[in-house]
Chain A
Amino acid sequence: MAEKTMRPGEPVTLDAETFRRLHAQAHKAMGPKRLAIIASKGTLDMAYPPLILAVTAASMGMEAGIFFTFYGLDIVNRKKWKSLKVAPLANPAMPMPVPNIVGAIPGMTAMATAMLKRMMSKQNMPPIPEFVDMAKQLGVKLFGCSTTCGVMGVKDEDLLDGVEIAGAAAFLDYAAHADITLFV
């Protein structure tokens, strides 16, 4: 391809092949992209988005890391990761159109949780523990918040294998070199 001199501000049109070549070169030169996510919620519904994004990023050749903090730490707590729940109270988006106050009745949390689990498995969506294992298998870095461990009395051995205990500085250092950062 004949290279022509470009002036600043001049629009550039690239054919698909040239785009691919330049894109591949840029990739090589800049190293992999990085996704850094903070997972701060410990409900079943809010555990999915960070894991889904991280495994997708890793599948696309990006580096991905999740910092589990506050209730989000439950997602990688071996005593809790298999029993995350959906909160029907103060959740107007529940698929069943019942008055919100009904969510406060004993048993409603278990019911809403069972319903989401059923909806997920009907669509062949893996449960949270499978997603965590998948993330590990794909090389997603899992950070457990040290402050949360202290505040909530979570011991090192309560966290799943492969979870690195870290503080804000370590996460910020990781995120400072990220291309995408998200707070969930």
Chain B
Amino acid sequence: MTDEIKVDKTLDCTGLLCPMPVVKTKLAIDELAPGQVLKVISTDKGAKKDFPSYCAETGHTLLKAVEDKGAFIFFIKRA
């Protein structure tokens, strides 16, 4: 499932509700260089819509979003 995409950092937000996954993603992505990829795991039901919005607003690229047994996994490339 995670083929081809090279992940530079993984952030596990399992068990956290909004807004924590987005806040933690912001802090984690700040530590990456432009072009690097952050993998985020979130079990918050709102994440499915929140992360595409977060990426649209910040300009980071959402490379891939997968749903896996109640967890959402996002691959975000820093702008």
Contact = CB atoms under 8 A, between A and B. Distances in A.
B1 interface: no
B19 A124 contact: no
Contacts of A61: 57-59
A134 B22 CA distance: 13
Given A124-B17, A125-B17, A56 B56 contact: no
Contacts of B58: 60-61
A175 interface: no
Interface string B47-73: 000000110111101000000000000
A62 interface: yes
A59 B25 contact: yes
A19 to B, nearest CB: 9
Given A52-B19, A59-B25, A23 B54 contact: no
Contacts of A33: 57
Interface residues of B, number: 19
Contacts of B18: 52, 56
B5 interface: no
A177 interface: no
A125 B15 CA distance: 10
Interface in A100-134: 123-126, 134
Contacts of A125: 17, 20
Contacts of B61: 20
Contact of B57 (A60, A126, A138): A60
B45 interface: no
A155 B65 CA distance: 50
Contacts of A86: none
B17 A59 contact: no
30 contacts: A20-B59, A23-B56, A24-B79, A33-B57, A52-B18, A52-B19, A55-B23, A56-B18, A56-B19, A56-B22, A59-B22, A59-B23, A59-B25, A59-B26, A59-B54, A60-B22, A60-B26, A60-B53, A60-B57, A61-B57, A61-B58, A61-B59, A62-B57, A123-B15, A123-B17, A124-B16, A124-B17, A125-B20, A134-B23, A138-B26
Top 6 nearest A-B pairs by Cβ distance?
A59-B26, A56-B19, A60-B57, A59-B23, A61-B58, A52-B19
